[in-house]
């Protein structure tokens, strides 16, 4: 048969892509991160759920940790810089008597000591010493960069990494239950040293504080060593678990309906003091112009004084973040289109 008489070859037919999700409006989503996922994994899932690649998060959670991960969509990603700096609240379990390479349960055991004689009264002094403004040495497997490379990457490459102490603030370090380690069957997959103790705590701290470093330092102060076995973030600034949704709930969102989000104005109210704008002020700010300085509403714990103020229009939309500079208030970020 003449090759020219052969039937023309056709390219393999690829299955048609499924319908694209409608793009979510600009806003924040508070995710209850599950254990075993990185914060980047959550963002990757949220990009599909939100129908856009413009998604980011405010503050990394380790894979073993669960709880509040604030995710920004669209223009709300511009707010994340400020959310990252908000104070955070955690519920955690510290295991006394076992030291690990990573200061948490994901590392290899370095040393084991008998902590069975440690009492609640013994904890008071070391806990007080780790409360307030302290100098904390981060874990060597943290994401802090050393000469342009993450510390944890250097550790995995076999380097000895010593990080400098940095100032952090622990405003609360509350001790709850103290019990023999392993009493709760679901807590451990491996045998637990007989002399180990588990201490349940609540920590409220500034951005940049490592709770696993607190666990390490608490154990060191008691002379028995310690590490973190459980960590759940319950609040970031004005966002808490009450307003969080699980990934399963978000993945179950209807494919043909835009994802429901916390609107920009509501997100800003949870992060900043608020200034209610007049219509002329809103119009001026939308063009990047300054307006006359005025005090904002009273700051809250979630929205302290001294930072930017959220300018809200009479229609209830976020116009801009602004800062008082002498007699004028100047826009820092403008959200409303001119």
Phi and psi at residue 61, to the nearest 5°: -115, 135
* Token reading at 332: 């820092």
Distance of alpha carbon 13 from alpha carbon 162, whole angstroms: 56
For 61-85, b where at least 16 C-beta lie within 10 A, e where not — what string?
Answer: bbebbbbbbbbbbbebbbbbebbbe
For the chain, what is the total number of helices (H) and then of strands (E)?
A: 8, 20
- Find the largest Cα–Cα distance for the chain: 95
What are the b/e assignments for 113-133, b being 16+ CB within 10 Å?
A: bebeebeeebbeebbeebbee
Query: Looking at the annotation, which residues are catalytic?
Result: 62
C-alpha span between 336 and 98 (Å, rounded): 54
Which tokens sit at 123? Answer: 């904890």
């Amino acid at each position: 048969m003449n090759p020219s008489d052969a039937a023309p070859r056709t390219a393999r037919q690829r299955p048609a892509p499924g319908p694209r999700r409608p793009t979510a409006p600009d806003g924040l989503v508070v995710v209850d991160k599950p254990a075993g996922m990185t914060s980047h994994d959550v963002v990757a899932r949220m990009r599909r759920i939100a129908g856009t690649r413009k998604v980011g998060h405010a503050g990394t959670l380790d894979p073993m940790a669960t709880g509040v991960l604030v995710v920004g969509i669209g223009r709300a990603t511009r707010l994340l810089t400020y959310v990252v700096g908000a104070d955070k609240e955690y519920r955690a379990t510290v295991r006394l008597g076992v030291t690990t390479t990573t200061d948490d349960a994901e590392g290899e055991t370095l040393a084991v000591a008998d902590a069975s004689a440690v009492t609640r009264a013994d904890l008071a002094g070391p806990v007080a010493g780790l409360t307030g403004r302290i100098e904390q040495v981060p874990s060597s497997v943290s994401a802090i960069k050393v000469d342009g490379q993450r510390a944890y990457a250097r550790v995995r490459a076999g380097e000895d990494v010593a990080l400098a102490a940095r100032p952090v603030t622990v405003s609360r370090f509350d001790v709850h239950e103290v019990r023999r380690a392993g009493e709760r069957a679901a807590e451990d997959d491996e045998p637990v040293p007989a002399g180990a103790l588990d201490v349940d705590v609540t920590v409220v701290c500034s951005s940049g504080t490592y709770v696993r470093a607190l666990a390490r330092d608490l154990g060191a102060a008691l002379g028995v060593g310690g590490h973190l076995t459980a960590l759940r973030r319950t609040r970031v600034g004005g966002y808490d678990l009450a307003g969080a949704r699980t990934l399963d709930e978000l993945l179950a969102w209807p494919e043909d309906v835009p994802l429901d989000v916390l609107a920009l104005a509501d997100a800003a109210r949870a992060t900043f003091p608020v200034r209610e704008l007049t219509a002329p002020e809103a119009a001026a700010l939308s063009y990047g112009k300054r307006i006359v300085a005025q005090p904002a509403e009273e700051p809250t714990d979630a929205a302290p004084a001294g930072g930017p103020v959220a300018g809200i229009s009479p229609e209830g939309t976020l116009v801009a973040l602004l800062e008082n500079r002498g007699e004028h208030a100047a826009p820092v970020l403008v959200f409303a289109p001119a």
